[in-house]
Amino acid sequence: MSVVHASAEGGEGGFHTPSISDFFPSAILFEGTPFQIDRIWIIRAVITIALLVVFVVAARRASLVPGRFQSAIEYVLDFVRVQIVEEILGKEHSRKYLSIITTIFCSVLAFNLSGSIPGLNMAGTARIGLPLVLALWVMWSYWAAGIRKHGLGGYLKNNLFPSGVPWPVYIILTPIELLQILLIRPASLMIRLVANMIAGHIMLALCFAGTQFFIVEAGAAMKPLGVATLGASIFMTLFEILVAFLQAYIFALLAASYISLSLEDEH
């Protein structure tokens, strides 16, 4: 995997650990502008196109007797519908918000998995921009859901002044609740996702860098260690795939939970 600068910089040999610079590659086009294009930008573009192609092909080839490809897509869609949307929002609201939650789940999953795809080797969610956009989308969704249901005043009242609380407590509670719906919820979504993807990339990079070093550059006595690091690399790749699914599930689950909280009369 081209996951790290494991090969020497400037032609020098030796072991080079991954660093934060992996997430800020050199610009390919429009350097120094808001439209700068780099390797991570290209990875995101590739995954976006691939995701669109998959669902367009699945829709156009849909049949009453699904093949393996259609069955796999339907399994993902049914999982989101039953295990996330209907479980959290109930069937009453599930149809209205199914498309949003499904899009979020599939997008996060696809961008997460790019970190385990040879040739890409970097999760599109490993840099803050994309998780930030997704978190803001979730925030807009639960604010919009609450305002449509209760009106702006009713939504703020339900969230900032929950019933059954002694009025002096509101002095402390109300600012905290305001921070929660404005900052804490979207920040928790964003930071959790990007932190897991950064950690996953660094672990994969470290394992594969060690494998390259021990097998290619180290002395004969140390070469057997390359087998251990290769095994660790394979294990970490499988683990990172699991984390990619888990983080997509958590992101979509929390998005549905926040929307559900906005729809409740009191909480």
Cα angle 89-94-95, degrees, rounded to a multiple of 5: 165
Q: Kindly report, residue by residue over 90-121, the tens digit of the pLDDT.
A: 988 888 999 999 999 999 999 999 999 988 88
Of the two residues 6 and 91, the one the predictor is more confident about is 91
Q: In this structure, is residue 149 part of a structural domain?
A: yes
Question: What is d(CA 200, CA 239) in angstroms, rounded to the nearest whole number?
Answer: 9
Contact between residue 209 and residue 4 where contact means Cβ atoms under 8 Å apart = yes
DSSP 190-226: HHHHHHHHHHHHHHHHHHHHHHHIIIIIS-GGGTTHH
Question: What is d(CA 41, CA 31) in angstroms, rounded to the nearest whole number?
Answer: 12
Predicted local confidence at residue 14, as pLDDT: 57
Question: What is d(CA 55, CA 70) in angstroms, rounded to the nearest whole number?
Answer: 10
Most distant CA atoms of the chain, gap in Å: 74
DSSP 153-174: HHHHHHHHS-TTS-GGGHHHHH
Lowest-confidence segment of 12-26, 78-92, 148-162, 185-199 by average pLDDT: 12-26
Predicted local confidence at residue 250, as pLDDT: 97
Number of domains in the chain: 1
Distances (CA, A) of 116 to 149, 176, 183, 201, 210: 41, 39, 31, 9, 17
Q: In this structure, is residue 187 part of a structural domain?
A: yes
Q: In this structure, is residue 225 part of a structural domain?
A: yes
- 64: confidence class by pLDDT, cuts 50, 70, 90: confident
Phi, psi of 14 (to 5 degrees): 115, 175
Tracing tokens 């080839």 back to the chain, one arrives at: 61
Lowest-confidence segment of 62-71, 80-89, 154-163 by average pLDDT: 62-71
Mean pLDDT to the nearest integer, 64-91: 90
pTM: 0.88
Structural domain of 251: 9-263
Q: Kindly report, residue by residue over 174-231, the tens digit of the pLDDT.
A: 999 999 999 999 999 999 999 999 999 899 888 888 888 888 877 787 888 888 889 9
Predicted local confidence at residue 156, as pLDDT: 92
The H-assigned helical ranges of 9-67 are: 39-60
Chain mean pLDDT for the chain: 88
Q: In this structure, is residue 27 part of a structural domain?
A: yes
Is pLDDT at 88 greater than 90 in this prediction? yes
Is pLDDT at 3 greater than 50 in this prediction? no
Predicted local confidence at residue 32, as pLDDT: 79
> And the tokens for 113?
């998995």
Residue 37: strand pairing partners = 29
Question: What is d(CA 239, CA 232) in angstroms, rounded to the nearest whole number?
Answer: 10
Q: In this structure, is residue 3 part of a structural domain?
A: no
Predicted local confidence at residue 220, as pLDDT: 80
Contact between residue 214 and residue 226 where contact means Cβ atoms under 8 Å apart = yes
Q: In this structure, is residue 123 part of a structural domain?
A: yes
- 12: confidence class by pLDDT, cuts 50, 70, 90: very low
Question: What is d(CA 155, CA 266) in angstroms, rounded to the nearest whole number?
Answer: 10
Q: In this structure, is residue 112 part of a structural domain?
A: yes
> And the tokens for 31?
């350097």
Q: In this structure, is residue 1 part of a structural domain?
A: no
